[in-house]
Structure 1
Amino acid sequence: MSVHILMYPYPTAGHIIPLLDLAHKLLHLPRPAAAAVAVTVVVTPENLHLLDPFLASSSSLQPLVLPSPEPPRRPTHRRGASSPPSAPSASSTSLLSRWFESHPSPPCAVVSDFFLGWTHRFARDRGVPRVVFSPSGAFALSVTFALWRDLPRSDEGSTVSFARLPNRPGFPWSHLPQVYRIYEAGDPEMERYREDAIGNIESWGIVVNSFDGLERAYLDHLRKDLGHDRVWAVGPILPAEGDSSAGPVNRGGPSSVSASEVLTWLDACPGGSVVYVCFGSRAVLNQRQMDELAAGLERSRVRFILCARQSSRGGHVAASDIGAVPEDFEAQVAGRGLVIRGWAPQVPILRHRAVGTFLTHCGWNSTLEGLSAGAVMLTWPMGAEQFVNAKLLVDELGVGIRVGEGLEKIPKAEELARVLAESLRGDLPQRVRAKEISGTAQDAINGGSSDKDLSDFMRCVDEQRKSKMHTF
Structure 2
Amino acid sequence: MAADDASLSSATEPLRVLMFPYLAFGHISPFIQLATKLSAAAAGNIRVTFLSGAANVERIRSLLPSSSSVSVVTLHLPAIPGLPSGVESTADLPSDSPAVELLKLAVDGTRPQVDALLRELRPHVAVFDFAMQWLPEVAEPLGVRAVFFSVFAAVSTAYLISPARRLHGPNPSVEDLKSPPAKFPEASSIRGVPAYQAADFLYIFRTLAGASVFERALACLSRSSAIMAKTCAEMEGPYIDYVAREHGKPILLAGPITPEPPTGELDPRWAEWLGGFPAGAVVFSSFGSETFLSEEGVRELLLGLEMTGKPFLAVLNLNQAKGEGEEEVGRLLPEGWAERVKGRGLVHSGWVQQQHILRHDSVGVFLCHAGLSSVMEAVASGCGLAMLPQKGDQFLNARLFAGDMGIGVEVERREEDGGFTREAVCSAVREVTESEEVKEKHAKWREFLLDKEKQEGFAAGLLDGLRKLANL
Q: State the TM-score bracket (shorter-chain normalisation).
A: 0.7 to 0.9
Superposed displacement of residue 329, structure 1:
6.6
Query: What secondary structure, in the 3-state scheme, does the structure 1 residue paired with 2:329 have?
Result: coil
Alpha-carbon shift at residue 192 of structure 1 (Å): 7.6
In 2: Cα distance, 1:71 partner to 1:268 partner: 53
Alignment match, 1:307: 315
Task: Give the equivalent residue in structure 1 for 2:87.
Answer: none
Range that drifts further, 170-179 or 335-344: 170-179
Q: Deviations over 1:65-119 (max 9, x none)?
A: 224575899xxxxxx98575544356522333333333xx432211122343332
**SS in structure 2 at match of 1:171:** coil
Structure 1 unmatched ranges of 5 or more = 74-79, 251-257, 312-316, 468-472
- Judge conservation of contact 2:145–2:470 (CA < 8 Å) in 1: no
AA aligned to 1:9 is: P
Q: Deviations over 1:413-446 (max 9, x none)?
A: 2442344345333x54322221121112223xx2
1:470 corresponding residue in structure 2: none
**CA distance change for structure 1 residues 195 and 282 in 2, over 3 Å: closer, same or farther?**
closer
Cα gap change, 1:193/1:183 in structure 2, threshold over 3 Å: closer, same or farther? closer
2, 17, 20: which one aligns with 1:5: 17
1:442 maps onto 2:450 in alignment: yes
Structure 1 distance, partners of 2:337, 2:49, is: 46
Q: Please give the alpha-carbon distance, in whole angstroms, between the structure 2 residues aligned to 1:28 and 1:45.
A: 26
Instruction: Report the Cα offset of residue 404 of structure 1.
Output: 5.1
Q: Does 1:124 align with 2:146?
A: no
Distance 1:192 1:398 in 2: 30
CA–CA separation in structure 1 for the residues paired with 2:450 and 2:393: 25
The answer (yes or no) to whether the contact 2:281–2:364 under 8 Å persists in 1 is yes
Match of 1:326 among 322, 325, 330: 330
Quick one: distance in 2 between partners of 1:372 and 1:39?
27
Report 1 or 2 for greater relative contact order, CA contacts < 8 Å, sequence distance ≥ 6: 1
Residue aligning to 1:194: 215
* Cα distance change of structure 1 residues 52 and 304 upon mapping to structure 2, 3 Å threshold: farther
1:255 maps to: none
Determine if contact 1:306/1:339 at 8 Å carries over to the other structure: yes
Distance 1:456 1:394, change over 3 A: closer
Q: Deviations over 1:274-328 (max 9, x none)?
A: 21211123111122211221222233331222222255xxxxx698999953368
Structure 2 alignment gaps of length 5 or more = 1-12, 84-95
Which residue identity is paired with 1:88? A
Structure 1 residue 238 and structure 2 residue 259: aligned? Answer: yes
Partner residue, 2:166: 150
Displacement, 1:181? 4.3
Matched, 1:165 2:196: no
Partner of 1:282: 290
CA 1:182 to 1:4, structure 2 compared with 1: closer, same or farther past 3 Å? closer
Look up the equivalent residue of 2:25 and give its one-letter code.
A
- Which residue does the alignment assign to 1:253? none
- Whole-Å Cα distance in 2 between the matches of residues 67 and 212 of structure 1? 39
CA displacement 1:247-283 (0-9 Å, x = unmatched): xx79xxxxxxx64543454344322212121112311
- 1:452 matched to which residue of 2? 457
* Corresponding residue of 2:4: none
RMSD: 3.6
Q: Does the alignment pair 1:14 with 2:23?
A: no
Q: Which residue of 2 aligns with 1:58?
A: 67
Is this contact kept in 1: 2:126–2:139, CA < 8 A?
Answer: yes
CA distance in 1, matches of 2:449, 2:364: 17
Identify if the C-alpha distance between structure 1 residues 229 and 155 changes in structure 2 by more than 3 Å, giving closer, same or farther: closer
Summarize the Cα distance change of 1:461–1:416 in structure 2 as closer, same or farther, 3 Å threshold.
closer
Shift of 1:211: 2.7
- 1-structure distance, mates of 2:66, 2:220: 33
Report which of the two has the higher share of helix.
Answer: 2
TM-score (norm 2): 0.79
Deviation at 1:348, TM superposition (A): 2.9
Output the TM-score relative to the length of structure 1.
0.79
Q: Deviations over 1:2-57 (max 9, x none)?
A: 322111112222221121111111112264xxx61122222223433432433563
Aligned to 1:379: 387
Of 208, 211, 223, which aligns to 2:232? 211
Letter in 2 for 1:21: Q
> CA separation in 1, counterparts of 2:221 and 2:199?
17
SS of equivalent residue, structure 1 residue 88: helix
Q: In 1, are the aligned partners of 2:107 and 2:132 still within 8 Å (CA)?
A: no
Secondary structure of 1:198's match?
Answer: helix
1:114 and 2:130 correspond: yes
| SS of alignment partner, residue 280 of structure 1 | coil
Please give the per-residue CA displacement for 1:343-385, whole angstroms capped at 9, x wherever unaligned: 3322333333332222121122222222333433222111111
Distance in 2, Cα, partners of 1:182 & 1:463: 34
Equivalent AA in structure 1 for residue 71 of structure 2: Q
The alpha-carbon distance between structure 1 residues 228 and 11, as it changes in their structure 2 partners (threshold 3 A), is: closer
Task: State the shift of 1:178 in Å.
Answer: 4.1
SS in structure 2 at match of 1:447: helix
